[in-house]
Amino acid sequence: MNRSQAVVVGFVVSAWLTLIAILIVQPTLYDGELQPIGPAGQPLARTAFVAATEVLAMGPFAAGAGRFG
């Protein structure tokens, strides 16, 4: 893995850890996004939302950085 790929992976990991920190410290922030589809206020729905965000938005960046390494 070269330096550029390490930077991408580091960014993805730090962004994911930030999402987890927000979920722990201020979980009601996710309720604004979950309100239109109904499950606002449910801890399991918040956790699923964070997991889906990580897999769908950040996963391909990390996979691409590792694949071309």
pLDDT digits (tens, 9 = 90+) for 9-22: 788 788 888 888 88
Compute CA distances 45 → 5, 16, 22, whole Å.
32, 17, 15
Flag whether pLDDT at 29 surpasses 70. yes
pLDDT per position as a tens digit, 31-51 = 676 666 666 667 777 778 778
Interatomic CA distance for residues 31 and 33, integer angstroms = 5
Flag whether pLDDT at 67 surpasses 70. no
Number of structural domains found in the chain: 1
Count CB-CB contacts under 10 A for residue 8: 16
End-to-end CA distance of the chain: 5
Q: What is the pLDDT of residue 36?
A: 65
Indicate the pTM of the whole model. 0.59
Q: Which range marks the domain in which residue 25 is found?
A: 3-67
